[in-house]
Amino acid sequence: MTALPRPGPTPGVPPGAGPGAPRPAPPAGFVAEKAGGETAAPNPAVDAAVQAMVNAVGLPLADQIAQYEAAYEALRETLASIDQS
């Protein structure tokens, strides 16, 4: 009988590497553009959510999940408010 895979890091892959590895933050001065080439106005709620995800990288996994869920909720609320305007 074959054992089921156990959750955890992939054997032989160092922590911080592999498909789940965090991506680097966008370069300083990164500016999003709208479809027509206009520069998008910065949104403090979105910026804070992105920064929270970047900061979560060094936290224990359970704390990372909480940070990602909070960022998701902030982004969802921001998008909902944009749809209502």
* Out of 1-5, 13-17, 56-60, least confident range: 13-17
* Cβ atoms of 39 and 32 closer than 8 Å: yes
The per-residue pLDDT for 57 is 87
**Measured distance between the N- and C-terminal CA atoms of the chain, rounded to whole angstroms:** 58
Kindly report the pTM of this predicted structure. 0.51
What span, in angstroms and rounded, lies between the C-alpha atoms of 45 and 29?
A: 18
